Amino acid sequence: MAINEKLSDRVRKSMEGQTDVEEKKMFGGLCFMVNGKMCICIRQDEIMCRIDPESIESILSKKKARQMIHNGHLMKGFVFVKEEDIKTKKEIEYWIQLSLEYNKKSPPAKKKTKKTSLKIPFKKKKI
């Protein structure tokens, strides 16, 4: 799946000046991590925004977006917005701002612990 470079550049430009931003390829797209937490992802012709789960219903009643469903489960706090619904700078910045506001108060990302394995040297027997 190719990354939508035009949409990625628009998000990148809108996030200029934001500190601690890292871009990571994941979920078949490009994610913008802020403070080590997923904030916005670009997938083909849409962005996925992580916003406050408490305000999703009121936002969805006013804006064109859909909640994320993963493996049949509704993902609280994640919405998809189609590129055609964020044509203007004002529209894309609305979603980026919502994501950045929630990023400040969202819980820290869980660190995955690496599993270590004990390697036991194997000696070949001479026959």
DSSP conformation class of 96: H
What's the gap between Cα 83 and its chain centre?
15
Q: What is the pLDDT along the chain (127 residues), one digit of tens a residue?
A: 578 999 999 999 999 989 999 999 987 899 999 999 999 999 889 999 999 999 988 888 888 898 898 888 888 899 999 999 999 999 999 999 999 999 999 877 776 666 666 666 666 666 6
Give the CA angle between residues 70, 82, 92 to the nearest 5°. 115
Backbone φ and ψ for 23, nearest 5 degrees, come out as -100, 130
- pLDDT at residue 111, as a whole number: 66
For 5-105, the fitting CATH number among 3.90.1170.30, 2.40.30.160, 3.90.1150.30, 3.40.390.30 is 3.90.1150.30
